[in-house]
DNA sequence: TAGATTGTTAATCGATTAACAATC
DNA sequence: TAGATTGTTAATCGATTAACAATC
């Protein structure tokens, strides 16, 4: 699937949204939809919907529309969310706990297999069925279990160190809540940054001349 | 400041990033920077940096560059983060706790003044100095305190109801972690959605042909 | 003054939208 | 067959990049 290389960020950004809207429709018992209907619900245009889907193949039927179940399946394949890549979470604070508790990893392409922390007060505690392990065991654990992705719920200052350990153990994917610019450490890693501060600043911006 | 209307989403999206990088430089003791240097650090182009800043005015000095302190001040004004709009948080689960604990609202334009929940096991408990209040008191509280923004850390199913209450009490800004499409409820509200699932799906996508 | 770097206009590139032929 | 809606090409629009005159 070499196509992947040419997909623009704009399209990638929309894929999970399509999936979300379609999954909801599906749950409501809707079976088919036209690009027009879908566009209207999502606040976009039919053209964009069709262009986006056609980046990956022809999923519709002329004169009829799209079968939602089939679209969902294709989108799932495209995004690789039917995988179960081994993932670990580092940092068992409130944020780490929220992530471990709220995210249904199995529906998003990953399997959470461990939680690590460096604080004595947390090591050994149980969180959603995981016994929090010492960060000292990180490297061995990743190597033994083929960990592919790490979720960083740690302070910015600790990120570089932790990533060095993870990188040396072969971890290449990072869901990064730490605000550290990981790309500057290695360029053969995949990083998805979450900046909640940025999100809140955008909200603040839009308030200004309300 | 009518300019605000014409600012593209692309620019708005970059503003917090500029702020973040400049704040870090400032903390490192750097005082001035050229569009070129800043662009390099941020992985963008000098042209873009200058175009972006010039959406809001002329902050630089020809032949010299930009004074970081001044840029930060201007960006802060532009994003309105020196405000302290009254905000409340609804949903005192792990996610709510993480938000209440991690986000420095006062640096982002808001002041957190209350936490609400509908669960008896949570009402009355203390979270980061706030006594969790019953959601029954929501409306009165918002009206009495001029609450402008609500953070929704509640399940999707409860969102519509809660927003009706908040809306009727005058709350127009929403930092929405609930996955409910709030814009479909009222169109004179400001909504900033956080979809962590989408973020993780994007990470999964980029794994596929690694 | 000479050098540097901005502010701003012009050129390019890419993404979105419109149009329409293909076809179910 | 007629109607509907896709897949795809062409047109438009906007965002990014390049260029350069203004100026500190």
| Closest to A200 in 3D by CA, of B7, B20, B207 | B20
Q: Dihedrals φ, ψ of A89, to 5°?
A: -115, 135
What is the distance between the alpha carbons of residues A132 and A136, in angstroms, rounded to a whole number?
A: 12
* Strand partners for A85: A110
Q: Give chain B's residues under pLDDT 70.
A: 1-5, 210
Indicate yes or no: CB of B201 within 8 angstroms of CB of A108.
yes
Chain A residue numbers touching B194 (CB-CB < 8 A): 196, 199
* H or E stretch covering A61: strand A60-61
**pLDDT given for residue A208 in this prediction:** 78
Per-residue model confidence (pLDDT) at position B3: 52
Cβ contact (<8 Å) for A175 and B19? no
- B81 CB-to-strand C distance under 7 Å: no
Question: Distance from residue A44 (CA) to nucleotide D3 (C1'), in Å?
Answer: 25
Q: What number of residues does chain A have?
A: 210
Rounded CA–C1' distance between A119 and C16, in angstroms? 50
**Contact criterion met (CB below 8 Å) for B140 and B129:** no
Contact: A208, B1; criterion CB under 8 Å: yes
Cα(A33)–Cα(A36) distance, rounded to whole angstroms?
A: 8
Residues of A in contact with B95 (CB under 8 A): 98, 101-102
Q: How far apart are CA A153 and CA A179, in angstroms?
A: 10
Q: Quick: pLDDT tens for A82-121.
A: 999 999 999 999 999 999 999 999 999 999 999 999 999 9
Q: Residue A16: which of B17, B101, B195 has the nearest Cβ?
A: B195
Nearest chain A CA: its distance from B137 CA (Å): 25
User: Which pLDDT score is estimated for B1?
Assistant: 39
Cβ pair A199:B103 closer than 8 A = no
The answer on pLDDT for A199 being more than 50 is: yes
Across A169-195, average pLDDT: 96
B94 contacts in chain A (CB < 8 Å): 94, 97-98, 101-102
How far is Cα A74 from Cα B205, in angstroms, rounded to an integer?
12
- Residue B89 pLDDT: 98
| Residues of B in Cβ contact (< 8 Å) with A98 | 93-95, 97-98
CA of B42: which chain A residue's CA is closest? Answer: A181
| Distance of alpha carbon B190 from alpha carbon B182, whole angstroms | 9
Distance between CA atoms of B107 and B84, rounded to whole angstroms? 9
* Contact: A108, B173; criterion CB under 8 Å: no
Answer yes or no: are the C-beta atoms of A88 and A114 closer than 8 Å.
Answer: yes
- C-alpha closest to that of A163 among A137, A144, A139: A139
Phi (first) and psi of residue B88, to 5 degrees: -130, 160
Strands (E), chain B: 32-33, 60-61, 65-67, 85-90, 110-117, 126-127, 130-131, 133-134, 149-152, 173-176, 190-193
What pTM was computed for the model? 0.96
Over the range A137-149, which residues count as b (16 or more CB within 10 Å of their CB) and which as e?
Answer: ebbebbeeeebbb
Give tens-digit pLDDT for B166-185: 999 999 999 999 999 999 99
Look at residue A74 and give its three-state secondary structure. helix
Q: For residue A191, which phi and psi values (nearest 5 degrees)? A: -125, 130
Q: Which nucleotides of strand D come closer than 7 angstroms to any CB of the protein?
A: 2-9, 14-19, 22-24
Q: Establish, for the pair of chains A and B, how many residue pairs have beta carbons separated by less than 8 Å.
A: 183
Measured in degrees and rounded to the nearest 5, phi and psi for residue A203 equal: -60, -45
Name the minimum distance, in Å, from the CA of B13 to any CA of chain A: 7
Tell how many helices (H) and how many strands (E) occur in chain B. Answer: 8, 11
Nearest to B80 by CA among A164, A207, A147: A207
Alpha-carbon distance B149 to nearest alpha carbon in chain A (angstroms): 9
Question: For chain A, how many helices (H) and strands (E)?
Answer: 8, 11
Per-residue pLDDT at A197 = 98
- Rg of chain A on CA atoms, in Å: 20
Query: pLDDT averaged over chain A?
Result: 96
Strand C interface, B 116-175, C-beta < 7 A:
none
CB < 7 A from strand D, the residues are A 33-36, 46-47, 50-51, 53-54, 58-66; B 8-11, 44-45, 47-48, 50-51, 61-64
Summarised one tens digit per residue, pLDDT across range A152-168 is: 999 999 999 999 999 99
Nearest CA in chain B to A83: B204
Q: What is the pLDDT of residue A1?
A: 39
User: Quick one: A124 exposed, middle or buried, by C-beta within 10 A (0-12, 13-18, 19+)?
Assistant: exposed
- For residue B4, the model assigns a pLDDT of 60
Question: Rg (Cα) of chain B, in Å, rounded?
Answer: 20
| SS3 of residue A204 by DSSP | helix
């Amino acid at each position: 699937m070499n196509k992947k290389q040419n997909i623009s960020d704009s399209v990638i950004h929309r894929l999970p949204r399509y999936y979300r809207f379609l999954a909801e429709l599906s749950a409501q018992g809707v079976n088919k939809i036209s690009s027009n209907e879908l566009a209207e619900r999502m606040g976009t245009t039919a053209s964009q919907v069709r262009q986006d889907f056609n980046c990956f193949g022809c999923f519709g039927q002329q004169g009829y529309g799209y079968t939602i179940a089939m679209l969902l399946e294709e989108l799932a394949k495209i995004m690789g969310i039917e995988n179960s890549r081994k993932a670990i979470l580092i940092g068992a604070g409130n944020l780490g706990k929220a992530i471990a508790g709220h995210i249904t990893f199995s529906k998003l392409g990953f399997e959470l297999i461990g939680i690590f922390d460096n604080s004595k007060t947390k090591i050994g505690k149980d969180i959603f069925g995981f016994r929090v392990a010492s960060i000292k065991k990180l490297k061995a654990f990743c190597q033994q279990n083929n960990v592919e992705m790490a979720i960083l719920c740690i302070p910015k200052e600790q990120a570089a160190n932790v990533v060095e350990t993870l990188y040396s153990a072969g971890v290449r994917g990072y869901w990064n809540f730490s605000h550290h610019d990981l790309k500057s450490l290695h360029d053969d890693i995949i990083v998805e940054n979450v900046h909640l501060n940025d999100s809140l600043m955008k909200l603040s911006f839009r308030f200004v001349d309300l």
